[in-house]
Amino acid sequence: MLTDTELDHIAKLARIELKDEEREKLKKELSSILDYVAKLNEADTSFIEPLQQITGLINSTREDVNRNEFPANEELKAKLIDQAPQHEDRLVKVKAVLAHK
Amino acid sequence: MFPNTIKKIREGLQSKEFTASEIFAHYQQKISKEDGKIHAYLRTFDFVEPAEGELSGIPCALKDNMLVDGTVATAGSKILENYVSAYDSTAAKRLKEAGALILGKTNLDEFAMGTSTENSAYGPTKNPLDLTRIPGGSSGGSAAAVAADMAVFALGSDTGGSIRQPASMCGIVGLKPTHGRVSRHGLMAMASSFDQIGPLTKTVEDAALVLNVIAGQDVFDSTTVPRPVPDFTELLNKSIKEFKVGVPKEFFGKGLAPEVEERVKAGIKVLESMGAKIEEISLPNFDYSLAAYYVAVPSEISANLSRFDGIRYGYSDPTAKNLLETYTKSRGAGFGAEPKRRIMIGAYALSSGYYDAYYLKAQKVRALIKKDFEDAFKKVDVIVGPTAPNTAFKIGEKASDPLALYLEDIYTVPVNLAGLPGISIPCGKGSQSNMPVGLQIIGNYFDESRLLQVAHQLEQAL
């Protein structure tokens, strides 16, 4: 079973604030999932490289030419920036990143 | 009476028996009449004049994790309740260019995480064949819409079975193409090395017709392969005599419902009677696939869903006092239980000190499973087995146990771990539940043509 300290650590990494009523349930559920996946340790993987991708494509890059599928215009800019919960003119508003203590 | 397959509607439109706006209105009426009790759709759209093309005038539905320019896309999550797409996903764009008409967007488990569509923040979808049962998931809305003939076809996305399993539960056809066959641009990413868009249809032929339109390389998805796209209908009517069909013994072990086993084995007998050579094979690392899946997928989820930060789009908690609280409070309130579980498992599996034991180990096991399939395809042309261990269960029956729900994907996740194409076709109803059973056919990489050929031939014989 995960401890409260472990749960807090994972929640912090995940940037998710947990409500008190979620905690016990999550501790139980996450523990049972982690117990289940521990099964992986039974597999002998001593001579195999980890899989990094499926299709075998190497250096999948586009041609170095100007791409024009999404011509930037006022309409597209507005569509994108209007999605930000807080925005002003054509800027997205964010709380201070470097704040005074 | 209107026909209900792509092929027949195309014929009707060409011979001017009805117009595109008439067939569209017919489907709109069906939705307004029947969807109140099924809840397959999250929102519907109006008629637009169709483009000329392969699917001109065919009414379809899209899972709500795919973007359609200028319309809301929620992915079944509260965190995106008001999100408006700024562009078309490549799949939607190709459908529109081929003339398909989008009836609406369908319900799904939140961010496509689930096997029952009970995880949608907008309420569950019901199975049209029995309203007390789940339609499968996560593309449950798409499957229910097609099964109830509230759409001619639908697109879903499949990360661990999310097209094939709901198709199986609802008694229709669901195709997951090879990873890299269909562009994922504009599909909200869940686990990028697993996700693949594919069709849910009434017939195998319709699945081939849709794949013809959506397949192919895309500059916006660098994992799509630069391979020519064949006409996937070309081989459908060719005999499968002498085809080598592998049946993995691991697919018929503990946990498989007897009523499913009975129908699937009967389907395999039919293949044999058609001249296919049935051969027992083994996927020695099958037992580890679900564990590898539930480490690798949550790891990718924790990275992909980090974009929901309360700043660029979606829900933002107004009470946050600083930047960190904007993240933690917006995500804490915006995500439902299943995304939270998976993000946290992923964050743990990728965290310092645990990365080697979880993520790296899972990727090694994934390589083993891929190799098992590669070895099998040296001996056989296709692999056949059940799509899911059970038929559709009752709504709420497994809702309290995440692991029990995960086990419903046991036969579909190995296919995504390896990136192979797979299809589920209906093969009768279970003798106990009287609900549809799906037979899964797995093909070799980019061999959708022969996969569809076997599926079509068997469909015609069943």
Find residues 338-367 of chain B whose CB sits inside 8 Å of chain A: 340-341, 343-348, 351, 357-358, 360-367
Domain termination residue (choose one: B356, B387, B404): B356
B431 in the same domain as B304? no
Q: Are B440 and B263 in contact (CB under 8 A)?
A: no
Nearest CA in chain A to B194: A54
* Active-site annotation holder among B77, B89, B157, B162: B162
Domain limits at B163? 1-283+373-462
B301 in the same domain as B205? no
Question: Greater confidence, B185 or A60?
Answer: B185
Beta-bridge partners for B197: B157
The alpha carbon of residue A18 is apart from the nearest alpha carbon of chain B, in Å, by 6
Amino acid identity at B109: D
* Active-site annotation holder among B89, B116, B120, B138: B138
The alpha carbon of residue B398 is apart from the nearest alpha carbon of chain A, in Å, by 14
Task: Measure CA B94 to chain center.
Answer: 18
Q: Output the DSSP codes for B382-444.
A: EEEEES-SSSPPBTTTTTT-HHHHHGGGTTTHHHHHHT--EEEEEEEE-TTT--EEEEEEEE-
Residue A100 has pLDDT above 80, yes or no: no
Q: Strand locations in chain A, DSSP E?
A: 87-88, 91-92
B264 in the same domain as B395? yes
| pLDDT for the residue B400 | 81
Residues in A closer than 8 angstroms to B406, CB to CB, are 33
Residue A101 has pLDDT above 70, yes or no: no
The token duo for A69 is: 């599928």
CATH code: domain of residue B129? 3.90.1300.10
CA distance B443 to B380: 10
Q: Do B344 and A26 touch (CB under 8 A)?
A: yes
Q: B157, B2, B129: which is closest to B66 by C-alpha?
A: B157
Q: Do A84 and B363 touch (CB under 8 A)?
A: no
The token duo for A4 is: 């409260």
Amino acid identity at A98: L
B306 in the same domain as B165? no
B333 in the same domain as B273? no
| Residue whose structure tokens are 């749960």 | A7
Total tally of structural domains belonging to chain B: 2
B429 in the same domain as B394? yes
Find out whether the peptide bond into B299 is cis, omega within 30 degrees of 0: no
B209 in the same domain as B313? no
| pLDDT for the residue A62 | 82
Question: Which value, to the nearest 10 degrees, does the dihedral of the CA atoms of residues B138, B438, B374, A61 take?
Answer: -40
Backbone angles phi, psi at B442, to 5 degrees: -115, 135
Looking at the complex, does the CB of residue B1 fall below 8 Å from at least one CB of chain A? no
Asked, for residue B366, whether it belongs to a domain, the answer is: no
Q: B81, B58, B85: which is closest to B2 by C-alpha?
A: B58
The token duo for B118 is: 């009970």
Q: What angle do CA B284, A49, A38 make, to 5 degrees?
A: 60
3-class DSSP state for residue B136? Answer: coil
Asked, for residue B362, whether it belongs to a domain, the answer is: no
The alpha carbon of residue B12 is apart from the nearest alpha carbon of chain A, in Å, by 35
B400 in the same domain as B350? no
Nearest CA in chain A to B221: A60
| Residue whose structure tokens are 């969807």 | B35
B310 in the same domain as B253? no
B441 in the same domain as B412? yes
Looking at the complex, does the CB of residue A81 fall below 8 Å from at least one CB of chain B? no
Beta-bridge partners for B187: B66
CB pairs under 8 A between A and B: 175
Looking at the complex, does the CB of residue A26 fall below 8 Å from at least one CB of chain B? yes
Asked, for residue B265, whether it belongs to a domain, the answer is: yes
CA distance B398 to B218: 39
Look at chain B and count its residues: 462
Asked, for residue B368, whether it belongs to a domain, the answer is: no
- Sign (positive or negative) of CA dihedral B268, B274, B280, B283: negative
Asked, for residue B257, whether it belongs to a domain, the answer is: yes
- Mutation for testing the B interface, residue in A8, A10, A13, A16 having most B CBs under 10 Å: A16
Could you list the pLDDT tens digit for every one of the 462 residues in chain B? Answer: 799 999 999 999 999 999 999 999 999 999 999 999 999 999 999 999 999 999 999 999 999 999 999 999 999 999 999 999 999 999 999 999 999 999 999 999 999 999 999 999 999 999 999 999 999 999 999 999 999 999 999 999 999 999 999 999 999 999 999 999 999 999 999 999 999 999 999 999 999 999 999 999 999 999 999 999 999 999 999 999 999 999 999 999 999 999 999 999 999 999 999 999 999 999 999 999 999 999 999 999 999 999 999 999 999 999 999 999 999 999 999 999 999 999 999 999 999 999 999 999 999 999 999 999 999 999 999 999 999 999 999 999 988 888 888 999 999 999 999 999 999 999 999 999 999 999 999 999 999 999 999 999 999 999
The alpha carbon of residue A47 is apart from the nearest alpha carbon of chain B, in Å, by 9
Burial class (CB in 10 A: 0-12, 13-18, 19+), A47: exposed
**Which residues 6+ apart lie within 8 Å of B449 measured at CB?**
B230, B232, B234, B235
Find residues 124-183 of chain B whose CB sits inside 8 Å of chain A: 178-180
What is the β-pairing status of strands B244-248 and B277-281?
Answer: parallel
The token duo for B243 is: 């085809």
Looking at the complex, does the CB of residue B411 fall below 8 Å from at least one CB of chain A? no
What is the β-pairing status of strands B422-429 and B436-443?
Answer: antiparallel
B297 in the same domain as B175? no
**Which residues 6+ apart lie within 8 Å of B15 measured at CB?**
none
B275 in the same domain as B296? no
Domains defined along chain A, listed by start: 4-42 (1.10.20)
Asked, for residue B144, whether it belongs to a domain, the answer is: yes
What number of other Cβ atoms are within 10 A of residue B239's Cβ? 12
